[in-house]
Amino acid sequence: MEAAEAVETIQREMTSFARRARASAGRLHPELSLVSYTLLGHLEESGGCRATDLAAHYALDKSTVSRQVGALERAGLIERRQDPEDHRVQVLHLTDAGRRMLAQVTESRRTAFRERLAQWPEADLERFAEYLVRYNAWRGPAAGSDLPPPAAF
């Protein structure tokens, strides 16, 4: 397989992966998107943050984050709290229900990955993991580059 063909295959397969992930997110909670689950995970990892921090971290439009945050609040999965250092700032935190939902989703995903990868040799799993880490670590072209901005993936 030539490099150009390999890149096309990677693009097609990652798109298929993203479609499956979006579809499974909708089955878990019809009002929440895959982005919502990603935001919940970030809030858990960070211990809470501002909506603007979420937008910056994921390179999302503020209106997109606002809609997602609104859905998460209506579902009772997150809450706003005043920042103790700056009372003008609202910090988003998971609620107990949000933690439970995220734990359920995380376990469901782990189970699905274990099932899909159960027959893979350990060396293949390690190589695949290393490739994913390497792929996701790329931060795009250097500032001032003539290259277009990176795509969604």
Dist CA 19 CA 21 (whole Å):
5
Write out the two tokens for 122.
Answer: 């350990």
∠ CA(66), CA(136), CA(58), 5° rounding? 10
∠ CA(88), CA(94), CA(95), 5° rounding? 105
Contacts 24+ apart (CB under 8 A), 141-147: none
Is the pTM higher than 0.85? no
List the pLDDT tens digit at each of the 153 positions of the chain: 899 999 999 899 888 888 887 777 666 666 677 888 889 999 999 999 999 999 998 888 999 999 999 999 999 999 999 988 888 889 999 999 999 988 988 888 889 899 999 999 999 999 999 999 998 888 877 645 454 444 555
Q: What is the pLDDT of residue 142?
A: 60
The string of DSSP letters for the chain reads --HHHHHHHHHHHHHHHHHHHHHHHHHH-TT--HHHHHHHHHHHHHT-B-HHHHHHHHT--HHHHHHHHHHHHHTTSEEEEE-SS-TT-EEEEE-HHHHHHHHHHHHHHHHHHHHHHTTS-HHHHHHHHHHHHHHHH---SPTT-SSPPP---
Q: In terms of DSSP bridges, do strands 90-94 and 78-82 run parallel, antiparallel, or are they unpaired?
A: antiparallel
